[in-house]
Amino acid sequence: MTVTPAPGGAPAPARPRTRLLRALGTPPGRLRLAGLVLAGLVLAFGVTAGWQTVRRAQSADAVVERSQPLSQDAAEIYRSLADADTTAATGFLLAGGEPQSVRRRYEQDLDRASQLLARAAARTTASSDSQRWLSALNEQLPVYAGLVETARSYNRQGLPLGGAYLRFASTLMQQQDQLHPDDPYRAHGMLAAAQKLYEAQTGQLRRDYTGARAVPWAAAVLGTLALGALVRFQIGLSRRTNRVFNPGLLAASAATAAALLWLLAGHGAARDDLADSDRHGAAPLRMLDQARIQALQCRGAENLNLVARGSTTQYAERWDSVTRQLAGSDGSGGTLADSLRLAAGDTEGTARVRAATADFRSWDKLHGTAAASSDDGDYQAAVDATVGQGAATTDRAFERMDHELAAAAAHEQRDFEAAADHGRGALSGLAAGTGVLAVLATAGALLGIGRRLAEYQ
């Protein structure tokens, strides 16, 4: 480029861009540029790896500490409400002979539902759909309890109005809230609202699982580029200088490789453990929760059918419908079969589900006996076969079944917690570790190139 002479014969100073291009055209300039590029790649890798790891660790923490417990609490809310409704019907059938244990169970169900609702409300955001379903349930619960108490009062006096109040309470629980027909959150029955709550929390659990198990592609690509650039630069430098090693660049390559391997190994281990926590914990647990809920629906339909005294067929039809969902048309399918399939390879889980299936078949036979007595007009025999004091009643068969399913659910919950804790543990310290290694790699690259630049002094 021609330099225009300045007035008086002195050459004009070169422009900054020109000076930069000239500097980059020299070996020291090219070394400085290479150092900046290598340092930038390594730092970008470290920052991206740290950011993506923190995001996945937060999702893993949410799985263990928030979304899965909330999903399970929602299932327990449903179960407590359904059991309260069924137990209220049991007490109504026994009338003056209602045992204290039945009354206590009903009260414990309501207390547990209230406690779980309060705990869930404290752990969800105020603007979420979950919070609205919780608010609706909190408002409906005392209304339901009041209707049941009114029904019990009339029933103790021998007045048929008690049955009407109990059916109204059951409608509020299972079908719709007739007091708030235009409110989308309160027009549903309480169990429908609890189901919506469960679906919302289960959906959040799936999203948290997806976030925790996502592959950190951006960090992996940047780490591979940084390591490749370091190796390629050292090969070129070795050819030009006839020197095999540059300690700084070698250390930078080692630190980058260690960070990349730790990143991939840590995320791989976390993904495997979290997948295992879902496959052998959360997924079987969801199926067992569904089986327990369906069993309660069957029990409620059975008891309410007796309360109705033949005035409607809806409860008998509900029994037929839900038992097909629970165990299939022949007692060997449905949710119980799905629970058994998900428990494959788990000795304790398989044994518990098999026992629960056997208990259901016993229950189904006893239900048939009670239904036949009711159809023959022997109402008291039907009541005795359903909620009587003997061992061969549908109530005892249900309790045995529910006990096995509860034990299987507790076992799956322990498996989930162990695997999920191990999975998030694999991410522990990973963000800080990769960050430190990236800083060391950057320093090594700059020192290595700085040592080479010193040779031009």
Q: What local confidence, expressed as pLDDT, does residue 1 receive?
A: 45
Q: What local confidence, expressed as pLDDT, does residue 173 receive?
A: 87
Residues 6+ apart with CB under 8 A from 9: none
The most confident of 14-28, 141-155, 164-178, by mean pLDDT? 141-155
In a domain, 11, yes or no: no
Which position has the higher pLDDT, 26 or 88? Answer: 88
pLDDT above 50: residue 23: no
pLDDT above 50: residue 329: yes
Question: Phi/psi of residue 188, each to 5°?
Answer: -75, 160
pLDDT above 90: residue 146: yes
The confidence band for 29, taking pLDDT boundaries of 50, 70 and 90, is low
Please give the residue range of the domain that contains residue 296: 32-454
Q: What local confidence, expressed as pLDDT, does residue 331 receive?
A: 80
Condensed to tens digits (0 to 9), the pLDDT of residues 40-55 reads 999 999 999 999 999 9
In a domain, 24, yes or no: no
Q: What local confidence, expressed as pLDDT, does residue 353 receive?
A: 96
CA distance 72 to 144: 23
In a domain, 376, yes or no: yes
The confidence band for 167, taking pLDDT boundaries of 50, 70 and 90, is confident
- Spatial CA neighbour of 368 closest among 308, 296, 311, 305: 305
Condensed to tens digits (0 to 9), the pLDDT of residues 404-454 reads 999 999 999 999 999 999 999 999 899 999 999 999 999 988 888 877 666
What's at 202, amino acid-wise? T
Question: The tokens of 85 are what?
Answer: 């409704």
Place of tokens 């791989």: 268
- Spatial CA neighbour of 426 closest among 221, 258, 266: 266
In a domain, 447, yes or no: yes
Q: What local confidence, expressed as pLDDT, does residue 164 receive?
A: 84
pLDDT above 80: residue 11: no
In a domain, 44, yes or no: yes
Q: What is the mean pLDDT of the chain?
A: 86
pLDDT above 60: residue 132: yes
Question: The tokens of 328 are what?
Answer: 């299939």
pLDDT above 80: residue 22: no
What's at 33, amino acid-wise? L
Q: What local confidence, expressed as pLDDT, does residue 44 receive?
A: 94
Chain-centroid distance of CA 153 in Å reads 42
Question: The tokens of 412 are what?
Answer: 């799956």
Mean per-residue pLDDT, 282-300: 93
pLDDT above 80: residue 15: no
The confidence band for 177, taking pLDDT boundaries of 50, 70 and 90, is low
The confidence band for 254, taking pLDDT boundaries of 50, 70 and 90, is very high
In a domain, 433, yes or no: yes
DSSP summary character for residue 187: S
> How much of the chain is in helix, strand and coil states, percent to nearest 5?
80, 0, 15
> Please, how many CA atoms are within 13 Å of residue 114, restricted to the half-sphere of its CB?
12
pLDDT above 70: residue 325: yes
Q: Does residue 336 contact residue 357 with C-beta atoms inside 8 Å?
A: yes
Which position has the higher pLDDT, 71 or 331? Answer: 71
Q: Based on the number of CB atoms within 10 Å of its own CB, is 192 exposed (0-12), middle (13-18) or buried (19 or more)?
A: middle
CA distance 109 to 102: 11
In a domain, 21, yes or no: no
- Spatial CA neighbour of 119 closest among 105, 106, 138: 138
Provide the domain count of the chain: 1
The pTM (predicted TM-score) of the whole model is: 0.81
CA distance 227 to 215: 19
Mean per-residue pLDDT, 329-351: 92
> Please, how many CA atoms are within 13 Å of residue 119, restricted to the half-sphere of its CB?
16
Chain-centroid distance of CA 195 in Å reads 15
Q: What local confidence, expressed as pLDDT, does residue 217 receive?
A: 95
CA dihedral 257, 263, 266, 268 (to 10 degrees): -100
Condensed to tens digits (0 to 9), the pLDDT of residues 211-228 reads 999 999 999 999 999 999
Condensed to tens digits (0 to 9), the pLDDT of residues 377-394 reads 898 899 888 888 777 899
In a domain, 240, yes or no: yes
Q: Does residue 303 contact residue 272 with C-beta atoms inside 8 Å?
A: no
pLDDT above 50: residue 274: yes
Residues 6+ apart with CB under 8 A from 190: 81, 137, 140, 141, 144, 172, 173, 174, 177
